């Protein structure tokens, strides 16, 4: 290690003359973006190592002290490399003797790379914000440090010129959240009566002069999942606007048998009933929804096979004795050999019967008649995540779905549905995620995105864009619109985010979970996962629709940000629901529903029943402007008499006394405030005058309701 460090020192000294000169300009007045991961703060943080070479002196009560004379420096090394998309920049604080002037240079590094791969950035006025006592906070954007977007595991800070022997205090070394700049005003902290720092003064504005679209209530949808449904019925207390019958099991649901479906890869490719409890059929689904006054959307199969009974399975131990895993009670296997290779299940008739378009059309006619008797609305989704059939339903459909198969099945099954119910609203293709927004599964299995043979044969259009183009062409030829709503699923892929009740709840992962919501709407957010791109799903969907099939709606058929029992999961849920309204989605269906009294449950309640008496987010969207670290979503009733806002404090440490300015909204005659923080039992009512600041506690969901007089 000493040899490596010595070599590094020599290299830095030689190369320092080639580094970019310090940035000119005035000193920053804005704070650095929020930290995504801290490497050093009065001590090394977990997962980081100290490879520094300059003499230093421990300082137990403050920053570490370094002697940077002789081109001294410090290397902080991460135990696991970090990808470029995981950080937006580098920040740290330092205090040095004034006579040093500009002397600091920073860079990233990773073994196996060349010095030419990394930019060496000399710290100048434009990087620095003055702190008390002669210290500075530094922020360097990742675009300057790592323009090649390479993975890295080292942060290097050193003197690019000779400086006298003295101590330089360095602390708060961190990588900041992706996509954030340092352009927001630094908060003004007012001392409290006890002399300690009190809540920061901030401002949020709501503009009633620019009323927006009517919010579709179906963005507050949840899923019906028979494997869990028997446990409880608490989800009705969230006042969902609709329920979706869907998921992997719906691909092979046989309506003729009432409760028969196949679990596919989710549970040993077994035909099952609804956990052995009678009554969970499509009919009881409609009846329950009608009783609750909610919309029903039903996923109809189009893979071509459905379960023939509630007992058969595809990979019995007697026929396939060398599988990876078995269900002990039944002897059903997981369909893979000891090396993980898929096995050939044989004929689909072992578990299934054919389900052609006419089979589905007959079911839709029954649904239509039943819904009419119940006087309840219903719509349809064309199957579930077809690009994954070659794994989720490998026993029946081992070959990957391509462009042509997706379209042919869409055309045939949707045509059959529209014949028996011309007014039916149909959504598709219910695709699972990023890879299959852009490529067919055949592309991914036959060369990947670089070769993409299937896509190249179809004009090199992303599969979803091509799908929409075919829908528009068919409508032009037949005057029948087969698909009314573009439906895609969204599950964040960032490390530790998880799904449903799972997920890392460490400080870093919690912030990452909340940031990952930006993949739904923010064109500047670079996804912090293997995706390594700007997802901006809703704007992307809307542009595809505008370009290829104008007039279609947009839906997120499944979504979840994990850690439902943690405040970060609740905040991510509340953020997503707010963005769905802001972005004018047609519908969105949470998978499946949050457990009772969890933060994610209360996130739904913030929009649907925040006071326990049915008060909810209003119908007309209003533009808002929030400060960095907060989100604001606002709505007004059609008559302008009631305004409701959901205000989220996404900072885990900072509290804010927030002025909420109502522009053109009329006189506020009364106000109610409800707040949910980690550990709370409910959205708790708070006192306050209509024009008083709203207290936003750290990591909190807040609802503010005003009564207005014009």
Q: Of 648, 675, 647, 651, which Cα lies nearest the Cα of 661?
A: 647
Q: What is the pLDDT of residue 241?
A: 98
Neighbouring CB atoms inside 10 A of 10's CB total 11
β-pairing verdict for 305-307 and 352-354: antiparallel
Q: Where does the pLDDT of residue 3 fall: very low under 50, low under 70, confident under 90, or very high at 90 and above?
A: very low
Residue with tokens 């007089």: 709
- Give the separation between CA 701 and CA 565, rounded to whole angstroms: 14
- Give the separation between CA 71 and CA 65, rounded to whole angstroms: 15
SS3 letters across 341-389 = CECCCCCHHHCEEECCHHHHHHHHHHHHHHHHHHCCCEEEEECCCHHHH
**Burial grade of 583 (CB within 10 A; 0-12, 13-18, 19 or more):** buried
Contact 491, 560 (CB under 8 A): yes
Q: Where does the pLDDT of residue 224 fall: very low under 50, low under 70, confident under 90, or very high at 90 and above?
A: confident
Whether 14 shows a pLDDT value over 60: the answer reads no
Percentage of the chain modeled with pLDDT above 90: 68
Summarize pLDDT for 569-584 with one digit per residue, the tens: 999 999 999 999 999 9
Task: Indicate the pTM of the whole model.
Answer: 0.77
Contact 577, 508 (CB under 8 A): no
- Give the separation between CA 437 and CA 517, rounded to whole angstroms: 18
Which CATH code for domain 199-211+623-709?
2.60.40.1180
- Give the separation between CA 360 and CA 354, rounded to whole angstroms: 11
Q: What is the pLDDT of residue 10?
A: 28
Q: What is the pLDDT of residue 12?
A: 27
- Give the separation between CA 565 and CA 595, rounded to whole angstroms: 8
Q: What is the pLDDT of residue 384?
A: 98
**Cα 234 from chain centroid?**
25
- Give the separation between CA 177 and CA 293, rounded to whole angstroms: 42
Q: Of 304, 227, 297, which Cα lies nearest the Cα of 259?
A: 227
Q: Where does the pLDDT of residue 485 fall: very low under 50, low under 70, confident under 90, or very high at 90 and above?
A: very high
Angle CA(629)–CA(632)–CA(638) in degrees, nearest 5? 175
Average pLDDT of 74-82? Answer: 89
Q: What is the pLDDT of residue 278?
A: 54
Contact 643, 618 (CB under 8 A): yes
Whether 24 shows a pLDDT value over 80: the answer reads no
Higher pLDDT pick, 233 / 636: 636
Phi, then psi, of 311 in degrees rounded to 5: -130, -20
Q: Where does the pLDDT of residue 28 fall: very low under 50, low under 70, confident under 90, or very high at 90 and above?
A: low
Phi, then psi, of 562 in degrees rounded to 5: 75, 175
Higher pLDDT pick, 214 / 183: 214
Percentage of the chain modeled with pLDDT above 70: 90
DSSP 617: -
Q: Out of 55-59, 216-220, 492-496, 550-554, pick the least confident.
A: 55-59
Contact 259, 252 (CB under 8 A): no
Q: Of 70, 60, 96, which Cα lies nearest the Cα of 169?
A: 96
Average pLDDT of 122-126? Answer: 88
Q: Hey, CA dihedral for 425, 430, 435, 440, is it positive or negative?
A: negative
Contact 538, 474 (CB under 8 A): no
For the domain with range 2-184, which CATH number is right: 1.10.3720.10, 3.40.50.720, 3.50.50.60, 2.60.120.430? 2.60.120.430
Q: What is the pLDDT of residue 279?
A: 60
Contact 121, 19 (CB under 8 A): yes
**Burial grade of 342 (CB within 10 A; 0-12, 13-18, 19 or more):** middle
Residue-averaged pLDDT of the chain: 89
Q: What is the pLDDT of residue 548?
A: 98
Whether 614 shows a pLDDT value over 60: the answer reads yes
SS3 letters across 576-607 = HHHHHHHCCCCEEEECCCCCCCCHHHHHHHHH
**Cα 660 from chain centroid?**
27
DSSP 219: G
- Give the separation between CA 379 and CA 295, rounded to whole angstroms: 8
Whether 116 shows a pLDDT value over 80: the answer reads no
Whether 115 shows a pLDDT value over 80: the answer reads no
Angle CA(56)–CA(61)–CA(62) in degrees, nearest 5? 60
Does the N-terminal peptide bond of residue 146 adopt cis geometry, omega within 30 degrees of 0?
A: no
Top mean pLDDT of 42-56, 181-195, 465-479 is at 465-479
- Give the separation between CA 309 and CA 314, rounded to whole angstroms: 12
Distances (CA, A) of 31 to 170, 171, 656: 17, 15, 16
C-alpha gyration radius of the chain: 29
- Give the separation between CA 487 and CA 480, rounded to whole angstroms: 19
- Give the separation between CA 271 and CA 252, rounded to whole angstroms: 9
Contact 679, 623 (CB under 8 A): no
Q: What is the pLDDT of residue 351?
A: 98
Instruction: Report H helices in 500-536.
Output: 507-516
Contact 671, 642 (CB under 8 A): no
Whether 232 shows a pLDDT value over 70: the answer reads no
Distances (CA, A) of 220 to 298, 430, 556, 580, 584: 16, 18, 11, 9, 12
Domains in the chain: boundaries: 2-184, 199-211+623-709
Q: What is the pLDDT of residue 255?
A: 96
Residue 207's contacts (CB-CB under 8 Å, 6 or more residues apart) are: 622, 623, 624, 625, 663, 664
User: Quick one: tokens of 391?
Assistant: 């794994």
Neighbouring CB atoms inside 10 A of 29's CB total 10
Whether 58 shows a pLDDT value over 80: the answer reads no
Q: Hey, CA dihedral for 281, 282, 284, 285, is it positive or negative?
A: positive
Summarize pLDDT for 271-297 with one digit per residue, the tens: 998 655 556 789 999 999 999 999 999
- Give the separation between CA 426 and CA 408, rounded to whole angstroms: 16
Residue with tokens 């995981």: 86
Average pLDDT of 394-404? Answer: 98
Helix, strand or coil, per DSSP, at residue 682: coil
Q: What is the pLDDT of residue 401?
A: 98
Residue with tokens 């609709």: 242
Q: What is the pLDDT of residue 196?
A: 41
User: Quick one: tokens of 413?
Assistant: 């099954």
Instruction: Report H helices in 431-536.
Output: 435-438, 441-445, 448-451, 453-456, 463-478, 507-516
User: Quick one: tokens of 503?
Assistant: 């997920």
Q: What is the pLDDT of residue 61?
A: 62
User: Quick one: tokens of 249?
Assistant: 């099991």
Neighbouring CB atoms inside 10 A of 346's CB total 13
User: Quick one: tokens of 45?
Assistant: 């943080």
Find residue 270's DSSP bridge partners: 313
Neighbouring CB atoms inside 10 A of 148's CB total 10
Q: What is the pLDDT of residue 490?
A: 98
Q: Out of 72-76, 353-357, 413-417, 440-444, pick the least confident.
A: 72-76
Q: Where does the pLDDT of residue 689 fall: very low under 50, low under 70, confident under 90, or very high at 90 and above?
A: confident
């Amino acid at each position: 290690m000493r040899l490596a460090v010595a070599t590094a020192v020599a290299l830095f000294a030689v190369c320092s003359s080639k580094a970019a000169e310090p940035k000119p300009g005035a000193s920053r007045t804005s704070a650095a973006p929020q930290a995504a991961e801290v490497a050093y703060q009065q001590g090394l943080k977990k997962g980081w190592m100290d490879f520094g070479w300059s003499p230093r002196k421990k300082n137990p009560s403050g920053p570490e002290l370094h002697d940077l004379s002789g081109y001294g420096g410090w290397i902080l090394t991460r135990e696991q490399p970090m990808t470029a998309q995981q950080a937006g920049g580098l920040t740290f604080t330092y205090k040095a003797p004034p006579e040093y002037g500009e002397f600091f240079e920073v860079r990233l590094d990773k073994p196996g790379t060349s010095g030419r791969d990394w930019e060496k950035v000399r710290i100048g006025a434009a990087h620095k914000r003055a702190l008390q006592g002669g210290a500075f906070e530094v922020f360097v954007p990742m675009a300057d440090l790592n323009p090649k977007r390479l993975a890295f595991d080292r942060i290097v800070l050193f003197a690019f010129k000779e400086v006298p022997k003295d101590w330089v205090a360095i602390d708060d070394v961190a990588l900041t959240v992706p996509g954030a700049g340092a352009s927001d005003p630094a908060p003004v902290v007012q001392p409290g009566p006890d002399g300690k720092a009190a809540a920061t003064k901030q401002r949020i504005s709501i503009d009633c002069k620019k009323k927006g679209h009517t919010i579709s209530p179906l963005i507050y949808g949840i899923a019906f999942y028979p494997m869990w449904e028997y446990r409880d019925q608490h989800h009705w207390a969230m006042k969902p606007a609709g329920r979706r019958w869907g998921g992997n099991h719906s691909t092979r649901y046989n309506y003729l048998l009432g409760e028969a479906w196949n679990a596919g890869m989710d549970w040993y490719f077994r035909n099952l009933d609804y956990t052995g409890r009678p009554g969970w059929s499509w009919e009881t689904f409609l009846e329950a929804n009608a009783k609750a006054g909610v919309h029903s959307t039903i996923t109809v199969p189009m893979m071509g096979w459905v379960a023939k009974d509630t007992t058969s399975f595809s990979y019995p131990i007697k026929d396939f004795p060398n599988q990876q895993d078995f269900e002990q009670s039944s002897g059903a296997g997981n369909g893979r050999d000891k090396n993980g290779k898929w096995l050939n299940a044989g004929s689909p008739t072992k578990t299934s019967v054919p389900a052609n378009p006419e089979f589905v059309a007959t079911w839709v006619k029954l649904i239509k008649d039943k819904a009419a008797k119940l006087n309840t609305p219903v719509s349809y989704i064309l199957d579930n995540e077809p690009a994954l059939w070659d794994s989720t339903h490998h026993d029946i459909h081992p070959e990957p779905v391509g462009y042509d198969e997706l379209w042919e099945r869409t055309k045939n099954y949707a045509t059959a549905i529209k014949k028996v119910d011309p007014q039916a609203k149909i959504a598709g293709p219910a695709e699972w995620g990023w890879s299959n927004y852009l490529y067919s599964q055949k592309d991914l299995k036959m060369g990947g995105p670089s070769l993409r043979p299937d896509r190249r044969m179809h004009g090199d259009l992303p599969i979803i864009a091509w799908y929409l183009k075919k829908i528009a062409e068919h409508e032009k030829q037949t005057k029948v619109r087969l698909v009314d709503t573009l439906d895609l699923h969204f599950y964040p892929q960032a490390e530790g985010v998880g799904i449903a009740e799972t997920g890392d709840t460490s400080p870093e992962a919690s912030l990452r979970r909340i940031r990952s919501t930006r993949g739904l709407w923010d064109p500047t957010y670079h996804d912090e996962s293997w995706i390594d791109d700007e997802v901006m799903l809703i704007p992307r969907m809307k542009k595809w629709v505008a370009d290829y099939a104008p007039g279609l709606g947009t839906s997120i058929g499944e979504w979840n940000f994990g850690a439902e029992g943690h405040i970060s999961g609740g905040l991510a849920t509340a953020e997503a629901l707010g963005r769905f309204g802001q972005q004018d989605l047609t519908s969105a269906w949470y998978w499946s529903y949050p457990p009772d009294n969890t933060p994610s449950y209360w996130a739904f309640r913030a929009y649907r029943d925040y006071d326990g008496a049915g008060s909810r987010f209003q119908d007309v969207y209003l533009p808002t402007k929030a400060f960095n670290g907060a989100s604001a979503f606002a709505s007004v009733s059609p008559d302008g008499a009631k305004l409701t806002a959901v205000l989220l404090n996404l900072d885990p440490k900072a509290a804010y006394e927030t002025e909420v300015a109502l522009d053109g909204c009329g006189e506020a005659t009364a106000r109610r405030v409800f707040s949910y923080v980690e550990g709370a039992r409910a959205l708790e009512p708070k006192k306050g005058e209509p024009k008083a600041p709203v207290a936003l506690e750290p990591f909190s969901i807040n609802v503010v309701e005003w009564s207005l007089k014009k």
